[in-house]
Structure formats: C-alpha cells, structure tokens
Structure 1
C-alpha cells in the first residue's frame, strides 16, 4: 500500500518559493498544502486558489506535514514556535537563528517535530556535524565571494560595498553571529555552518564576505576546517573545499542552490524531534 504524499506548505513566493511550488506540483511524492506570501496578490493566476493561504495564522487548517520558509528571517521569529507545534519546519533563512534566544527557543520547541536546516551552498555539512558531535572540530571558517551586485546588505557593509570598483574587497571578517544581522539574505550558508558546527556555534565559526567585481557569473564558497591534533603547530587535521556555483548576474542565490534546496525539502522528514541538517 503506497503512502499518502507528504503535504508541504510554502512560506514566501520569491524566486526560490516559485521554484519549489512548481517542483511540488510536478511530483507525486509531495503535494502542496498551501502557499503564503506577504502580498497574496502576487499569487493570483500563478497558484491554484485552493492552495492560497491568505492569513498565515490559519496555517493549521491546511494540515501540512512540513512547512518551508523561504521568505524572511522574521518569519521564524514570529511563527517558528507555532509551526513546530503542528509540523516539521524547514528554516530557509537560518540567519534568523543567530539570535541566541530564538535558537534556544526553537531548539526547545522541536520536541514533537523536527527543525530542519537546509545545507544550501554549504558543502560537507554532515561530516562537519559528525566532528562537532564528537567534539573534535576545533575551528571552522566559511568565505563567500560574490559580485558587488549580488549582495543585499545594510549599514556600514552596504556603504563599503558601494565603493567596490575594480578590485576585490573584504567586506567583513569575523564571527558569523556578527555578520548575520547585516547580511541576512547572503549568508544563510554561514548560518547553516554555525548550526552544523554546534560545538563552536555562531560566535566561534568565522565568516569572511568578499565583494569581487570579477565574479560576474559565479558565487564562490570556501569552507576550511581544523580537527583533531595541534592547530598551533600545524599538525592538526585540516580540510579546505571550494564550491564554484554558476549564478545569473546580480542574483543573490546561485543556480545550483535551487536544486540543493529541493533535495533538502524532500529529505526533511522521518528524523524525529530535534535539529537536523538536510
């Protein structure tokens, strides 16, 4: 006897939300429970009327097995706890969890359903989490390099990025916790890294953001970690990877990240309560 399709609710209808909705409607193993967007008018003629959720507070009525946020970090602040009381919840904007109170609250709320963190452009997440579980992960650094037009920043970083012309500029180098609030749309990869490397967390995982005008067609993510051994004498386990992701000029999200996110959504089930990388 075949299982009933898993019902998925989508929060947000930007580029990624549109991609997920289209993929869900073309599959037999999942079905669309609802789509909510800040402006419901944007869904008219694109999403079946029966799937449009006009009031996000009524999400419970749609019986979703999994709720996927691809809208804004504020959604987890406002509704994450409620979502987890009724369904598995996949946080598409994990920069929200750089707020230590929210991270603690959602970890505590994930007692009946799973809190899922998509790996996105974060390469090697499962291996890093295994090292964190064993307490052998000593340090982790994530460097993200993009064209200046690909960044959505605020404050001093936004002003610094405006000065980039012909040479690469390091916009930020420091803790991931300090970066997430000023670049919430760009550093979800770093937030996923900080959650996977839970023995280090947002304060000890280091992030570097580089604005490079030569990267018109690519986003680059470098992940470097140190494990067992003596880091000071350079006799510790060390691994460095580079992910070069094709990207449309000016796009915040690289092309390959869409398929990765779909895989994460399809894998976000059956792991039970707690926090899971997917």
Structure 2
C-alpha cells in the first residue's frame, strides 16, 4: 500500500441544500438564495492521496496528501453587467470532463505532484488506482507513459475492482471528511469554493488518512470472508483508542486459511 496512489474525482458544492445555524436572539437569520436547489454551483476536483509514511521514532516523513486539483476554465463574459464589462475573463467550472481533460490533469498536475512529494527512500514503482468510468485514460496511453517513465519513476495506472467504491480511499471516507471541513467556511464565488476545498485538504489531519488505509485493509479481509461479496458490515477497530494506547498496528494480519480458501 505504500506504493499506491488513490485517485478519484468528485463534485464539491458551494452549499448544502439544508444548513443548520446557531444564532442568538438579537441576531438576524442570514438570507440564503439560489436560482434552483437542483442546479447549485459546483466544481469537480481530482484528488490524489497515498498512505502516510512514518519514521522509526514515529515522526512523519510523508503526509500522504499528493494534491487536489480543480477543473476550471477561463471564459470571456458575453454581456455587460454592473460587475464587469463584456469580454472580461471569468473563472468557470469545467462541466464537461472528457478524456483529454483527465489526461491533462494527470500529466500536468498529478504526476508532477507525485514526483515532488514522494519520499526519497521509497520505491519509485508507483501504481495510481482509479475507478472504471469511461473518460479515464489507460496505462498504455503514449503521452502518459512518457511523463510516467521520466525522472527515474515508473508510474502505472490500474483500475479498482468494478462496483467496489469502498476499495478507494477517497470514496471510503476521505471525501466526506473534506466536505465536513469545507462547509465550515461559507463561499459565494467559484474561487472561494476552490480555496475552501484546498484549505480543507491542507487542514485535514494525516492520521485520519492513515485510519482510512487501515479501514481499507479491514474491508479487504471482510471481502475475503464473504468470498467476494459486499454484504458485510465494516467492523469497528477503535483506532483512536489504540492510537492513544500506542498499540495501533501498521498493517493487519490475515489468517492464511482465509487466503487459501479464497484462492
């Protein structure tokens, strides 16, 4: 797992449909307005994370957070308004996420971020796990291979098992943790939304990312116990308690009998 990078895309919305506020008696309720709750302003992000790396004394060497990259484009305004004249470049979300858009994000942002942040002593044979949507590129794409095999790195694209979102760290809990932090700050523009998401990515504690990878191992064991099905309940490991006691395992031990039965 120390050689894996989990990558996935997600829409982040400017606001929730319903919000809860705590106000004092003399305070006015803030007015919230939107043209339609079905078409809230949203931006898609590409998120890439890996497992945090710790030294022998418990010091953090690598926090596992590769980067989170928004899909934006600059579009000139068509008409005049009181806010800006026609022709002014405006930052808008990219609503059509095609194969070319994904390839550009991988080559120009994700791979350079991996090379810049990857631990020096770690293996440079890296596997980027992505889901099975149609607009994602394959491992043998020429431009991707040229970028992935440079600077001493050997990066490959692999697909997660189909219909198993729990096997991707982002879907398993990382995105929900990001959203919780993101919605603590209000946003009124696309740029503010992007800033809030990036701030949440930086502020999220790396130990929660390590917890997610332990949960992933628990899920893998449960999949083996159910012979490949997903009709299981994720058992609670009490990771925070084990961390306080200093007994949190780095990896889970799998019974050899379970592995042989699955094979």
Q: Same fold (TM over 0.5)?
A: no
Structure holding more strand per residue: 1
TM-score norm. by structure 1 comes to 0.28
TM-score norm. by structure 2 comes to 0.29
Structure holding more helix per residue: 1
Q: Could you say which structure has the larger radius of gyration?
A: 2
